[in-house]
Amino acid sequence: MTQTIHIVGGGLAGSEAAWQVAEAGHRAVLHEMRPVRGTEAHQTDGLAELVCSNSFRSDDPEGNAVGLLHQEMRTLGSLIMRAADANQVPAGGALAVDREGFSAAVTRTLEQHPNVTLVRGEVEGLPPEAWGPCIVATGPLTAPALAEGIRGLTGAESLAFFDAIAPIVHRDSIDMEVAWFQSRYDKPGPGGTGADYLNCPMNREQYDAFVAALVAGEKIGFKQWEGTPYFDGCLPVEVMAERGPETLRHGPMKPVGLTNPRDPLVKPCAIVQLRQDNALGTLYNMVGFQTKLTYAEQVRIFRTIPGLERAEFARLGGLHRNTYLDSPRLLDATLRLKARPALRFAGQITGCEGYVESAAVGLMAGRFAVAEAAGRPLAPLPQTTALGALIAHITGGHVAADGEANAPRSFQPMNVNFGLFPPLAQAPRNETGRRLRGPEKAALKKRALTDRARTDLAAWMAGTQPADWRPAAAE
């Protein structure tokens, strides 16, 4: 039976969701408020307009998580990847596109599709219940009326409007000859053991040099429309450093209640703490280190912290306007709003980060909606795939807040990365059976993760793909 599914938002996620719905034989009504109402960031009325960059990042499916995500989306008949491939410009190992050509291709394809109706105009507030199934994909610049409607339905704390992001480090890149596990005063939080934080100690010389580097480091300014949303609960680490050389020692880097087991008689001048960030235990968040430093400066300065000299970052820090849901609390495993299951959410408003990730969540939201309409719900995506790892992060793969008064929200936007994947059952070895170290180990591990992902996605597709599903061939 053909069903009508409304999609609100004509960005990458909404466009991809509409394509998936239409290609499955259902009617997709795509609502895009531009040009009737513009945004502070968009310049055109084209669908899937790229605002910040023309890069879809690495296209390497063997050694990069986003490259693997590209491959999985192509396998599932993605319009966004089809348009990107058709409008590619030279960018080395990355996939970069001609912005105008890319947006024009997506717009033209959807406008010409017989199952797509494009409606120009703002959806003010929540979509009417009379519409039935609906996918909301309005991105980080969701219109105020719709944002207020979501808040009214889900609670005042359901949306974050200014996103204070601290860097996240891959656990296996932290030097455990330097760092140690301990909670302050050995106090276990809910579900904790009393050894829930990784601690990196600094002596006075290291601390003074670190503070000086923070103050002198190159920063990113706010966009004109963002304002300056500093408040004392999430000051950038460099702003704290500018308030006085001892500020950090009495803030996120205070050394009290902690003892270095390797040198218990020497009190560190300061300590950087990292807290487990995902349920798998593969990612650790730098506590209190939200920042406006440029990405290059973050890597350079944060690698001067003892124990983080070889740190690999799953995500770097930032502070900017970014409207997104507290998705693990509000959405189910198929991206439906628990408070109103006829509404699904997709794209950056769910708490993914990046063009490709946004489109990928739109792809899955469209497929979930199609499967539900057909009365054949999809089996859960394997978390060993890039798509599955991303959906699992959004819908519950993070670690919950500590339960402390005024604790910061622990769920924050994330790019796809190998830290979201379940660890391999066995450490990679070379042909002779020797366990590897360093770059050779890292390369073989990534290859093993991507090989496993391809195998598991193929098995999932074989078990769940409707027989009449035929993705259109790439142009």
419 annotated among ligand-binding-site residues: no
Contact present, 311 and 198 (Cβ < 8 Å):
no
Q: Which long-range contacts (CB under 8 A, 24 or more apart) does 443-452 make?
A: 443/63, 445/418, 446/62, 446/63, 446/64, 446/418, 447/62, 447/63, 448/424, 449/384, 449/418, 449/421, 449/424, 450/61, 450/62, 450/63, 450/68, 452/384, 452/424
Which residues are registered as beta bridge partners of 285?
Answer: 168, 275
405 Cβ contact list (under 8 Å, min separation 6): none
Residue 262: count other Cβ atoms within 10 Å of its Cβ.
Answer: 10
d(CA 21, CA 277): 34
217 annotated among ligand-binding-site residues: no
Contact present, 428 and 451 (Cβ < 8 Å):
no
d(CA 458, CA 426): 22
Contact present, 50 and 102 (Cβ < 8 Å):
yes
Q: Between the CA atoms of 455, 460, 461 and 462, what dihedral angle is there, to the nearest 10 degrees?
A: 90
What is the phi/psi pair of residue 327, to 5°?
-60, -40
Contact present, 43 and 161 (Cβ < 8 Å):
no
No. of H helices and E strands in the chain?
A: 12, 17
Instruction: Enter the tokens of residue 437.
Output: 């170290």
Kindly state the DSSP code that residue 234 receives in the 8-state scheme.
G
Angle at 17 between CA 16 and CA 18, to 5 degrees: 90
346 annotated among ligand-binding-site residues: no
Closest CA to 204 of 175, 246, 264, 256: 246
Which residues are registered as beta bridge partners of 136?
Answer: 8, 345
Contact present, 473 and 74 (Cβ < 8 Å):
no
DSSP E strand boundaries for 151-229:
159-165, 168-170, 180-181, 197-202
Contact present, 395 and 365 (Cβ < 8 Å):
no
d(CA 429, CA 436): 6
25 annotated among ligand-binding-site residues: no
147 annotated among ligand-binding-site residues: no
360 annotated among ligand-binding-site residues: no
d(CA 126, CA 150): 7
Residues that constitute the known binding site: 9-14
Residues that constitute the known binding site for FAD: 9-14
